[in-house]
Chains A and B, each alone.
Chain A
Amino acid sequence: MRKVSGLSRFNIASLALGLAFLYLPILILVLYSFNASRLVTVWGGWSLHWYRELFNDRAMIEAAWMSLRVAVASATIATLLGTLAAVALSRGERFRGRTLFSGMLYAPLVMPEVITGLSLLLLFVALNAERGFWTVTIAHTTLTMCFVAVVVQSRLGSLDRSLEEAAMDLGCNPVRAFIAVTLPLIAPAIVAGWMLAFTLSLDDLVIASFTTGPGSATLPIRIYSEVRLGVKPEINAICTLVIALIAVVIVIASLASKLSSSQGESAAPL
């Protein structure tokens, strides 16, 4: 490691240890996904064998496709609902029960997933809903819309109210003012919220396993059930792909939220 000015040896050592603690397991997983050997713990040289194997595994591919569809659908619905909730909370000052509503909106953030999953399962059973794609999507929307609301609300909170007033003063009705001024300014936060919801949905196991039905397993469920029968190197391959996808989404999300906090930057192409 190159010596970084301003960091003592102790700092570098603790940083390295911390990062190793966080990323060594993932690194090993990625490494072993390129392993030629059938045995998970024995290195047998580089190979893309397990990736080929993976693409021939219909059940796995179907689960991945299901997960992707659920993630896109639930993230989109959650972004819509979460943004509306955030707007109502930060713009509608006068409605009754606002404090209660905002408290209730954040509850799923701290609610144990098992409870969320179980209660949704009970609801779906009571409604006699056929469990599958839509029930998982609804469940994930429930989970992720509060994250979106938090992200969007913090952006709205830092936005100057007088911008909307200026738009109205210059001839916009309230709805137009929101579309012409507020929406472009909170767009990066909305994008970041969508990405966050997408990743949360993609890697959720607990809620999905409560709310899904037979024949429509998501990727985490599929992986989990395979691993119980022993870790196949193929699992390493699919996990590596998921990590890559999530890494890309997270980087885009953080770039978007950075753009959102430094809104008006000269280079910002809007």
Chain B
Amino acid sequence: MAEELPGTNVAAGAAAGDAYPAAGQALLRIEGVAKSFGTFRAVDGVSLDIRAGEFFALLGPSGCGKTTLLRMLAGFEAPDEGRILLGGKDIAQALPHERPINMMFQNYALFPHLSVRDNIAFGLKRAGMARAEISARVAEMVALVKLEGLEKRKPDQLSGGQRQRVALARALARRPQLLLLDEPLAALDKKLRENTQGELMELQRRLGMTFIIVTHDQEEAMTMASRIGVMKSGKLAQVAPPRELYEAPRSRWIAEFVGDINLFDAESRLRDGHRLVVGTRDAGPLVVAEPREPVGEARFSVAIRPEKVKLSRRGPVSEAGHEAAINRLDGVVADICYLGGTTTYKIKLDTGGMLQASVVNSARIDVDAYSLSQHVVAWFTPDDCVVLPS
């Protein structure tokens, strides 16, 4: 296939005749899918649309069902309930080899008795491709993942990063409509992981393929994915782009799972124009922006990310008219956690609660750094607060 050079949309060439949805349209539709193991409901009624060409991340703690959901997409588990539609066709009960979906395994699952070349060619041979065509495709894949010169090696003669590339090349070789990646970077060290994240994103963009990645690493999900589905106890807790997930989490649990956050339980509230004045036990009265979705009578919390909290010795610089609206909390530094780029201070508030503040170390010689037991003023604006149902 001379016209299929690396960089062309290989997915579109997957199978002639198969209608491949245009970018942005739903490629995969998961409808009310559930799966139980014994009495344990691993996946509990998940519905989700994956759009063609997107990089979707399933994020969740271990045991939340994200891997089970992925395995149902690959065909290694059959859902007890629900439908999985790929391009309009229900594939929920189809066997793995009958699906135009390929998976990259967490431990790579490279065949130890086969060379790099034969590993990549494995799926092509099964597809009944001609010999010359296989050679061409393997060469293309090897170039794509930059493994030139290693074709004859066995997996145990490769480094971790190289194995990861072989696994990727093998999964991509059949030009699946959908690529599933199960914790693809978990086995790599931090530096290599960061580089590989970038490469995977680049590759996905270039091929225009649809990727679904499963990860427990929220930073990884935030970095790579265009949308993230957070799973908890077999259910999808929230599906949103990374920024929305971080800045507008739908629940207290998501807010705590994704990044660090300060949470204060609200005890009372008063409406003040577009704002709410919320009484909290640990931080006193706080002024917050009124949430888009009105909070019912139920209990709720006020959440504020540590990096949104500013610290100073004397309090916020007055901005005409805004002074009254700014939350100002007095306290002393109780703990200092120096992280290089930032420093996280734990402030013991005079009202009794604890508040985390993350400060960027913008100067090398920081004469303004706070010391333990120092009295500080922490402040933040109403818009930086998020109101969450408890």
Contact B127 A166, beta carbon cutoff 8 Å: no
Instruction: Write out the residue numbers on chain A whose beta carbons fall within 8 Å of the beta carbon of B112.
Output: 163, 185, 263-264
Of residues A171, A174, A176, which shows the largest number of chain B Cβ atoms within 10 Å of its Cβ?
Answer: A171
Contact A170 B156, beta carbon cutoff 8 Å: no
Contact A171 B111, beta carbon cutoff 8 Å: no
Interface pick from B102-110, B223-231, B265-273: B102-110
Query: How many angstroms between the C-alpha atoms of A222 and B154 in the bound complex?
Result: 51
Instruction: Write out the residue numbers on chain B whose beta carbons fall within 8 Å of the beta carbon of A162.
Output: 105-107, 109
Contact A171 B123, beta carbon cutoff 8 Å: yes
* Residue A87 interfacial (CB < 8 Å): no
Instruction: Write out the residue numbers on chain A whose beta carbons fall within 8 Å of the beta carbon of B110.
Output: 166
Contact B113 A264, beta carbon cutoff 8 Å: yes
* A171 and B127 contact, Cβ closer than 8 Å, known pairs A162-B107, A264-B113: yes
Query: How many angstroms between the C-alpha atoms of A69 and B106 in the bound complex?
Result: 48
Instruction: Write out the residue numbers on chain B whose beta carbons fall within 8 Å of the beta carbon of A270.
Output: 113
Residue interface mask B68-107, A partner, CB < 8 A = 1: 0000001110000000000000000001110001110111
* A264 and B102 contact, Cβ closer than 8 Å, known pairs A165-B76, A270-B113: no
Query: How many angstroms between the C-alpha atoms of A162 and B110 in the bound complex?
Result: 9
* A168 and B109 contact, Cβ closer than 8 Å, known pairs A264-B154, A266-B154: no
A231 CB to nearest chain B CB (Å): 50
Residue interface mask A138-160, B partner, CB < 8 A = 1: 00000000000000000000001
Name the one of B102, B111, B156 contacting A266, with C-beta atoms under 8 angstroms. B156
Contact A165 B97, beta carbon cutoff 8 Å: no
Contact A266 B122, beta carbon cutoff 8 Å: no
Residue interface mask B144-170, A partner, CB < 8 A = 1: 000000000011110000000000001
Contact A172 B109, beta carbon cutoff 8 Å: no
Residue interface mask A236-270, B partner, CB < 8 A = 1: 00000000000000000000000000011110101
Instruction: Write the chain B residue with the least CB distance to A267.
Output: B154
* A165 and B105 contact, Cβ closer than 8 Å, known pairs A172-B97, A266-B156: yes
Query: How many angstroms between the C-alpha atoms of A169 and B96 in the bound complex?
Result: 5
* Residue A184 interfacial (CB < 8 Å): yes
Query: How many angstroms between the C-alpha atoms of A268 and B109 in the bound complex?
Result: 19
Of residues A163, A170, A184, A185, which shows the largest number of chain B Cβ atoms within 10 Å of its Cβ?
Answer: A170
Query: How many angstroms between the C-alpha atoms of A151 and B112 in the bound complex?
Result: 20
Query: How many angstroms between the C-alpha atoms of A174 and B96 in the bound complex?
Result: 9
B: contact size bracket = 20 to 34
Instruction: Write out the residue numbers on chain B whose beta carbons fall within 8 Å of the beta carbon of A29.
Output: none
Instruction: Write the chain B residue with the least CB distance to A180.
Output: B122
Instruction: Write the chain A residue with the least CB distance to B105.
Output: A162
Instruction: Write out the residue numbers on chain B whose beta carbons fall within 8 Å of the beta carbon of A184.
Output: 113
* Residue A173 interfacial (CB < 8 Å): yes
Instruction: Write out the residue numbers on chain A whose beta carbons fall within 8 Å of the beta carbon of B171.
Output: 169
Contact B97 A185, beta carbon cutoff 8 Å: no
B129 CB to nearest chain A CB (Å): 10
* Residue B322 interfacial (CB < 8 Å): no
* Residue A181 interfacial (CB < 8 Å): yes
Contact B97 A160, beta carbon cutoff 8 Å: no
* A163 and B111 contact, Cβ closer than 8 Å, known pairs A170-B174, A171-B126, A264-B155: yes
Instruction: Write out the residue numbers on chain A whose beta carbons fall within 8 Å of the beta carbon of B155.
Output: 264
Of residues A172, A184, A268, which shows the largest number of chain B Cβ atoms within 10 Å of its Cβ?
Answer: A172
Name the one of A160, A165, A167, A264 contacting B122, with C-beta atoms under 8 angstroms. A167
Name the one of B95, B122, B154, B157 contacting A170, with C-beta atoms under 8 angstroms. B122
Query: How many angstroms between the C-alpha atoms of A174 and B105 in the bound complex?
Result: 18
A53 CB to nearest chain B CB (Å): 49
Instruction: Write the chain B residue with the least CB distance to A170.
Output: B123
Instruction: Write out the residue numbers on chain B whose beta carbons fall within 8 Å of the beta carbon of A174.
Output: 95
Query: How many angstroms between the C-alpha atoms of A266 and B115 in the bound complex?
Result: 10
Instruction: Write out the residue numbers on chain B whose beta carbons fall within 8 Å of the beta carbon of A165.
Output: 74, 76, 96, 103, 105, 109
* A173 and B97 contact, Cβ closer than 8 Å, known pairs A162-B109, A184-B113: yes
Instruction: Write out the residue numbers on chain B whose beta carbons fall within 8 Å of the beta carbon of A185.
Output: 112-113
Instruction: Write out the residue numbers on chain A whose beta carbons fall within 8 Å of the beta carbon of B102.
Output: 169-170
Instruction: Write out the residue numbers on chain B whose beta carbons fall within 8 Å of the beta carbon of A173.
Output: 95, 97
Contact A168 B113, beta carbon cutoff 8 Å: no
Of residues B74, B106, B156, B170, which shows the largest number of chain A Cβ atoms within 10 Å of its Cβ?
Answer: B156
Instruction: Write out the residue numbers on chain A whose beta carbons fall within 8 Å of the beta carbon of B170.
Output: 166, 170
Contact B97 A171, beta carbon cutoff 8 Å: yes
Query: How many angstroms between the C-alpha atoms of A266 and B156 in the bound complex?
Result: 8
B335 CB to nearest chain A CB (Å): 43
Instruction: Write out the residue numbers on chain A whose beta carbons fall within 8 Å of the beta carbon of B126.
Output: 170-172, 176
Contact A169 B97, beta carbon cutoff 8 Å: yes
Residue interface mask B331-351, A partner, CB < 8 A = 1: 000000000000000000000
Contact B174 A264, beta carbon cutoff 8 Å: no
Instruction: Write out the residue numbers on chain B whose beta carbons fall within 8 Å of the beta carbon of A168.
Output: 75-76, 95-97
A259 CB to nearest chain B CB (Å): 11
Instruction: Write out the residue numbers on chain B whose beta carbons fall within 8 Å of the beta carbon of A176.
Output: 126
Instruction: Write out the residue numbers on chain A whose beta carbons fall within 8 Å of the beta carbon of B111.
Output: 163, 166-167, 181
B387 CB to nearest chain A CB (Å): 44
A198 CB to nearest chain B CB (Å): 25
A165 CB to nearest chain B CB (Å): 6
Instruction: Write out the residue numbers on chain B whose beta carbons fall within 8 Å of the beta carbon of A163.
Output: 109, 111-112
* A263 and B109 contact, Cβ closer than 8 Å, known pairs A165-B76, A167-B122, A171-B97: no
Query: How many angstroms between the C-alpha atoms of A131 and B106 in the bound complex?
Result: 56
* A171 and B113 contact, Cβ closer than 8 Å, known pairs A166-B105, A264-B155, A265-B156: no
Between A and B, 18 residue pairs with Cβ closer than 8 Å are A163-B109, A163-B112, A166-B109, A166-B110, A166-B111, A167-B111, A168-B75, A168-B96, A169-B103, A170-B123, A170-B170, A171-B123, A173-B97, A174-B95, A185-B112, A263-B112, A263-B113, A266-B154
What 3 A-B pairs have minimum CB-CB distances, sorted nearest first?
A264-B112, A171-B126, A170-B123
Q: Knowing that A165-B74, A169-B123, A173-B97 are A-B contacts, what are 15 other residue pairs whose CB atoms are under 8 Å apart, sorted by A's residue number?
A: A160-B109, A165-B105, A165-B109, A166-B103, A166-B111, A170-B97, A171-B97, A171-B123, A171-B174, A174-B95, A176-B126, A184-B113, A185-B112, A263-B113, A264-B155
